[in-house]
């Protein structure tokens, strides 16, 4: 196990370090999906995509506005246009209309008093990294907002009426379990619907957190089987076996 120091945590405040080689020495909730659904994709670099850019912009506008000003936009109607292809030079760049969608979400969230008070409460800390051993493995996490009495995680969704179900699909249950272990505080999800701008605060139930712990335990078992210090199998031996 790596010794955790203040220097280690300060290093993880830098996104380049958190998501880069330094941060990859620790497991995180982003590893859960690959381990549970396709271990062949574990730690395989993923292609850049616009959803990542939109999510980062959303979080920066609320938590790190000084970084959001550096976001680049292209003022065209579609990525299929010649103008976009000429200006992007093969990169993924947000369209201005996508940026407006995100800014509208931020405005909706921050103009609602309970949301504003929760996010801007005195003493809150933003983008806080932490590391802790969970079920024998070191996990990292970076909390959006650490309050005196809870954690707040900011989410956007395409359909807030389905958030209860998408929270399971996208492993927010395992995220909740991991973060509550890391920070020893309950976590709440502050959510905004990108289409309707409807807002929701979701407080995880005991069953939700327990389901997250079960996912973490299964993921660790798979990690140890194929990627641990003494793996039982080569990942090339992985296959799915089910009864139809």
C-alpha Rg value of the chain to the nearest Å: 19
In the chain, domain spans: 6-237
Q: Tell me the DSSP string of 82-96.
A: HHHHHHHTTS--EEH
User: Nearest CA to 182 among 27, 64, 65, 58?
Assistant: 27
CA neighbours closer than 13 Å in the CB half-sphere of residue 162: 8
pLDDT per residue, tens digit, the chain (244 aa), is 666 788 999 999 999 999 999 999 999 999 999 999 999 999 998 888 999 999 999 999 999 999 999 999 999 999 999 999 999 999 999 999 999 999 999 999 999 999 999 999 999 999 999 999 999 999 999 999 999 999 999 999 999 999 999 999 999 999 999 999 999 999 999 999 999 999 999 999 999 999 999 999 999 999 999 999 999 999 999 999 999 9
pLDDT for position 1: 64
User: Nearest CA to 135 among 25, 225, 232, 220?
Assistant: 220
- Residue 31: which H helix or E strand, with range? helix 30-37
Query: To 10 degrees, what angle do helices 96-110 and 50-63 make?
Result: 40
pLDDT for position 2: 65
What is the dihedral sign for C-alpha 207, 212, 217, 219?
A: positive
Q: How far apart are CA 90 and CA 80, in angstroms?
A: 12
Question: Is the CATH number 3.40.50.300 carried by domain 6-237?
Answer: no
Strands (E), 76-150: 94-95, 125-134, 137-146
User: Nearest CA to 55 among 161, 129, 121, 153?
Assistant: 153
């Amino acid at each position: 196990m790596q010794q955790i120091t203040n220097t280690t945590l300060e290093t993880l405040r830098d996104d380049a370090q958190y998501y880069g080689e330094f941060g990859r020495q620790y497991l995180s909730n982003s590893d859960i999906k690959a381990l549970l659904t396709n271990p062949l994709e574990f730690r395989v670099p993923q292609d850049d995509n616009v959803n990542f850019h939109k999510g980062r912009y959303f979080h920066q506008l609320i938590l790190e506005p000084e970084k959001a000003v550096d976001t680049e936009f292209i003022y065209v109607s579609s990525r299929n246009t010649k103008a976009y292809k000429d200006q992007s030079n093969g990169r993924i760049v947000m369209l201005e209309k996508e940026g407006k969608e995100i800014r509208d979400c931020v405005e909706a969230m921050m103009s609602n008093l309970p949301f504003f008070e929760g996010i801007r409460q005195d003493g809150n800390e933003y983008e806080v990294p932490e590391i802790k051993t969970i079920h024998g493995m070191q996990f990292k996490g970076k909390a959006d907002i650490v309050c005196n009495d809870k954690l707040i995680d900011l989410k956007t969704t395409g359909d807030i009426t389905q958030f209860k179900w998408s929270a399971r699909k996208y492993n927010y249950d395992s995220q909740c379990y991991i973060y509550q272990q890391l920070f020893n505080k309950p976590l709440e999800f502050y959510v905004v619907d990108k289409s309707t701008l409807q807002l929701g605060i979701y407080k995880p139930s005991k069953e939700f957190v327990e389901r997250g712990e079960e996912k973490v335990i299964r993921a660790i078992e798979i990690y140890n089987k194929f990627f641990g210090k003494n793996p039982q199998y080569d990942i090339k031996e992985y296959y799915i076996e089910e009864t139809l």
